[in-house]
């Protein structure tokens, strides 16, 4: 999803939610006018958005626009989760400021809404706000919001819910009726799914080769046919476990992206296993799995997509090129248990006594 499509999509939703009227009225109103009842995000031309920054007390994330979509700078310019970003922008555009809580600067700290400058130059958990900024190509600020604590139940509130927000340069703090999931950790913005969606039903062959060991080769003649394992009788197979293997491969999700200069030892990749998947349509995926857990407790993979010579479909060729451009020479982390379960031994795919 490119920048223009994302902006247009959010703009359409904004108009449907009545945001067009609010945007015009807010644009024409002085900044000191009351904001209650107006959406958080208004009067912003999202087609001009080129950079989004989220700054927390201990982490920050930077998303930049590219022709292919949004990228996460701190994660090696890895593709961002376009759906997550689009959902956040839509939520900001439709969520209205419920109540002004205070305009007393002395109360901003207890609401988690101070800026670093107002807090003596320090970012401090539960005192300073998360800062959400949208900038254009020239670095001009198009929008900025300070996001504070969640509202908690207390003597004057019967139930928890909502979150405190504030606009920079204004003393007023407001309550919104939802929690804004604006993550300052860059890794929380990356696109998580590793393989294309709904791909498991297209698996024709799976070959798993641990370092220094013989491969296990699973195959089926068509999508609804039972899986087979080379050298094993069908009666002796634990077919459910083979299906689980296919599902685990299809459902792999990235946790973070390794630094480009990380060594094999730092990534647990002194030895690697190879998982190869062939699809009925001629596509294939190679996944090299580090056989050891990295010091950060994750397991690191490298990935690539291949096509057989018989593939002539331009869309499949374009998809393969985009997949390989996305991963390139990168190493992505997955949960250790997810990677480990790809490398089970042959006996674990056999029925008891098989």
Per DSSP, helices labelled H in the chain are 3-16, 19-28, 82-94, 239-250, 314-327, 336-340
Among candidates 299, 305, 303, 306, which has minimal Cα distance to 271? 299
Structure tokens at 117: 């400058």
pLDDT tens digits, residue range 167-192? 999 999 999 988 888 999 999 999 99
Residue 280 in tokens: 């009925």
Q: Residue 178: count other Cβ atoms within 10 Å of its Cβ.
A: 14
Predicted model pTM? 0.84
**Contact assessment for residue 259 and residue 76, using Cβ atoms and an 8 Å cutoff:** yes
How many other CB atoms are found less than 10 A from the CB of residue 104?
10
In which band, very low, low, confident or very high, does the pLDDT at 4 lie, cut at 50, 70 and 90? very low
| pLDDT, tens digit, 9 for 90 and up, residues 216-234 | 999 999 999 999 999 888 8
For residue 99, what is the enclosing H or E element?
Answer: strand 97-102
Tell me how far apart the alpha carbons of residues 80 and 67 are, in angstroms, rounded to a whole number: 13
Averaged over 318-322, what is the pLDDT?
95
CB 301 within 8 A of CB 290: yes
Burial class of residue 344 in the structure, from the number of CB atoms within 10 Å of its CB (0-12 exposed, 13-18 middle, 19+ buried): middle
Q: Which residues contact 255 (CB under 8 A, 6 or more apart)?
A: 187, 192, 298, 332, 333, 334, 335
* Inter-residue contact 222 to 308 (CB < 8 Å): no
At residue 162, the pLDDT reads 87
pLDDT band at 28 (very low <50, low <70, confident <90, very high): very low
Q: Are 304 and 324 in contact (CB under 8 A)?
A: yes
- pLDDT single digits (tens) 247-260: 999 999 999 999 99
Band (98; pLDDT cuts 50, 70, 90): confident
Domain boundaries, the chain: 3-189, 200-349
Tokens of 283: 């596509």
Does residue 161 have a pLDDT over 70? yes
Q: Quote the pLDDT of residue 74.
A: 97
> Which of 138, 67, 24 minimizes the C-alpha distance to 325?
67
């Amino acid at each position: 999803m490119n920048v223009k499509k994302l902006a247009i999509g959010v703009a359409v939703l904004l108009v449907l939610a009545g945001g067009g009227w609010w945007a015009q009225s807010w644009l024409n109103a002085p900044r000191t006018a009351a904001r209650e009842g107006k959406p958080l995000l208004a009067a912003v031309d999202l087609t001009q958005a080129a950079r989004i920054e989220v700054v927390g007390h201990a982490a920050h994330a930077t998303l930049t626009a590219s022709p292919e979509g949004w990228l996460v700078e701190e994660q090696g310019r890895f593709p961002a989760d376009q759906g997550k970003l689009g959902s956040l922008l839509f939520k900001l555009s439709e969520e209205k400021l419920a109540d002004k809580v205070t305009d007393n600067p002395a109360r901003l700290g207890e609401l988690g809404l101070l800026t670093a400058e107002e807090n003596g130059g320090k970012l401090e958990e539960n005192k300073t706000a998360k800062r959400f900024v949208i900038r254009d190509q020239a670095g001009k600020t198009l929008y900025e919001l300070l996001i504070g604590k969640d509202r908690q139940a207390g003597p004057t509130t019967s139930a928890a819910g909502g979150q405190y927000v504030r606009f920079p340069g204004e003393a007023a703090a407001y309550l919104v009726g939802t929690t804004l999931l604006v993550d300052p950790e860059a890794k929380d913005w990356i696109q998580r799914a590793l393989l294309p969606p709904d791909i498991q039903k297209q698996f024709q062959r799976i070959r798993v080769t641990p370092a220094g060991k013989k491969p296990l080769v699973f195959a089926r003649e068509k999508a609804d046919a039972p899986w087979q394992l080379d050298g094993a009788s069908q009666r002796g197979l634990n077919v459910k476990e083979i299906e689980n293997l296919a599902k685990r491969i299809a459902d792999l999700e990235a946790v973070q992206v390794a630094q480009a200069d990380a060594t094999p030892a730092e990534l647990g990749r002194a030895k690697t296993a190879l998982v190869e998947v062939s699809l009925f349509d001629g596509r294939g995926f190679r996944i090299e799995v580090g056989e050891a857990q990295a010091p950060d407790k994750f397991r690191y993979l490298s990935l690539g997509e291949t096509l057989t010579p018989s593939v002539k479909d331009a869309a499949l060729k374009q998809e393969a090129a985009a997949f390989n451009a996305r991963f390139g020479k990168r190493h992505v982390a997955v949960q250790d248990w997810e990677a480990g379960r790809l490398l089970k031994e042959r006996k674990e795919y056999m029925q008891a006594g098989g």
